[in-house]
A and B are shown apart, each in its own frame.
Chain A
Amino acid sequence: MRLWVLAGIAAAVTALAVLGTVLLLAGRDPDLPVQTTLPDIQLVDHTDQPFSLAQARGKVVVLGLVYTHCPDICPLITYRMQSIKDQLARQGLDSGVLFLTVTFDPERDTPEALRAYIAAHNLDTRNWRFLTGNPETIASLTELLGFYTERVSPVGQSAGAATGGSALDIPYFITHSDRFYLVDKLGRVRASLPGSRTDVEQAVRLIRRLTQEAP
């Protein structure tokens, strides 16, 4: 029964995300309906400190999902988030906004790996936490958001199937959704942005709207 409920929520979130993405790509600002509420899950940040998503309540959150072995799309998503962060800072809005990037490859993305990623891309981590954690916990988050992930080996086979054992035995990449999310001060997902294709100016306008809402 619980599985059916989760699947229903994920399907609804996906439908809203697709609709929102279509509007965003068409250059129109969408309404910001509540899509789902983030669970109060426990994660670990890039400084090895525990972090609960509940700690983000009271702030608007820009929530990204990446993995550090991704050479192509995830850096673009991170690059877009950094551009949004820079724009918000220029407009004096950054103090009310928290940036969170959660890895969907927690087996490899330890806090140390997240620090290496931050250093490689020279990211400003003021108001920005990079998070990892228990694989099941993170899988529950991606399922809730309808965020697709699938491990593939470099030769295009399923990594788990290719090894017949631990998927960490061989290098693998992850086929994944290209999105990030805007979350309101109450922890509710209100918009799904088209990841690497996000229009920075439009994202800043939507974030501004969310910051102006009463908590």
Chain B
Amino acid sequence: MTRYLLVTLLLLLASCQPAVSGPVTTTPAVTVKDPWARPAMAGPMGMTSAVYFVVVNEGPDADALIGATTDVAGRVELHETRRRGDVMEMSPVSEVEIPPRGQVTFQPGGLHVMLMDLKRDLKVGDSFNLTLRFRKAGDIKITVHVREGGM
């Protein structure tokens, strides 16, 4: 009887142990917060949209956003709008460095992911998937919500 109780107790204790085998999960160094996009219509008029978000790098090394893909657009580019006096000029950028233990904000009037040749309408309230490609962190898939918004 004593042996039976001892075995039962050992089994109960074993069931309370945290798992020590299998993959070890760690917090990823790069995360993406608050993604959203402007509404735009697809079709022959070929409107464009822009995606905004915040990239947070909690790691000790710099990383870089080097591209993006989505099935809602035929062409996806990283762009930056810059102010020159009261003139706004927009140009593509090949990559955006994300500093170690820092963050970069993609926002109206600045950095954004440009969606061209839209395959479907992006209406307020819709959402779609976007994959951001980082040099070190690899691909990060995010869900982007469509809404209006200002600076």
Q: Name A residues whose Cβ lies closer than 8 Å to a Cβ of B.
A: 17-18, 21, 68-73, 75-76, 79-80, 83, 108, 110, 112-113, 116-117, 119-122, 148, 152, 154-156, 171, 173, 175-179, 194-197
User: How distant is the Cα of A196 from the Cα of B150 in the complex, in angstroms?
Assistant: 8
B62 at the interface (CB under 8 A from A): no
Q: How many A-B residue pairs have CB under 8 A?
A: 102
B98 at the interface (CB under 8 A from A): no
Q: For B39, give its contact among A121, A152, A154 (CB under 8 Å).
A: A121
Q: A73-B109, A116-B47 are in contact. List 12 more A-B contacts (CB 8 A).
A: A70-B48, A71-B115, A73-B88, A117-B41, A120-B123, A122-B39, A152-B89, A155-B92, A171-B46, A176-B88, A177-B87, A178-B87
Q: For B109, give its contact among A69, A72, A112 (CB under 8 Å).
A: A72
B34 at the interface (CB under 8 A from A): no
- Distance (Å) between the CB of A50 and the closest chain B CB? 21
Q: Name B residues whose Cβ lies closer than 8 Å to a Cβ of A.
A: 38-41, 43, 45-50, 77, 79, 81, 83, 86-92, 108-109, 112, 114-116, 121-124, 148-151
Interchain CB contact under 8 A, B92 and A79: no
Contact A75-B38, Cβ < 8 Å, known A69-B46, A122-B124, A196-B109 = yes
B83 cross-chain contacts in A, Cβ below 8 A: 178
Interface class of chain A by DSSP: mixed
Q: For B87, give its contact among A83, A119, A176 (CB under 8 Å).
A: A176
Q: For A119, give its contact among B41, B79, B109 (CB under 8 Å).
A: B41
Which of A68, A75, A83, A195 has the largest count of B CB atoms less than 10 A from its CB? A75
Interchain CB contact under 8 A, B87 and A156: no
Interchain CB contact under 8 A, A178 and B116: no
